[in-house]
Amino acid sequence: MVEVRYFSRSGNTKAIADVIASAAGVKAESADAAGVSDADILFVGGALYAGGIAGKLKKFIKTLSPEKVGCVAVFSTTANPNGAYEKIKKALDKQGLRVLEHEFHCTGGEAKSEGAAVRAEAFAKEILEENRSL
């Protein structure tokens, strides 16, 4: 089972979450609205605000455990071209989760573009293919 959760203030990360969810045949849900019941592959998306990830995303991540989540694929949108992977991964690591190295990032300005959608769809398909046995 695949699930997609994101936190998005202005819709950039949501735009990417929707593309990933569509590629996976599921619906993306906001992390502050929906928990995770059971996921073989969980896509988690976020952005940086004043150098850190949102408190609501951190709170959501604290609800996760390896018993409920097989592995996590991170996607992010930020102004910083390096993305938010390291900060999101740090929070996921604290929960003892298996975090994939393969991640997706685009800048906030790119997030709603056709180019980012094409890349995000390819990312989702690669993650699903690479972790199909889960």
Q: By the criterion CB under 6 A, which residues form the site for ligand FMN?
A: 8-14, 47-51, 77-80, 108, 111
SS3 assignment, position 45: strand
Host H or E run for residue 46:
strand 39-46
36 near 3, Cβ under 8 Å? Answer: yes
Minimum separation from the CB atom of position 97 to ligand FMN (A): 22
Number of residues that this document lists for the chain: 134
CB of 31 or CB of 47, closer to ligand FMN = 47
CB of 13 or CB of 72, closer to ligand FMN = 13
Torsion of CA 89, 94, 98, 101, to 10 degrees: 20
CB of 51 or CB of 115, closer to ligand FMN = 51
Minimum separation from the CB atom of position 83 to ligand FMN (A): 8
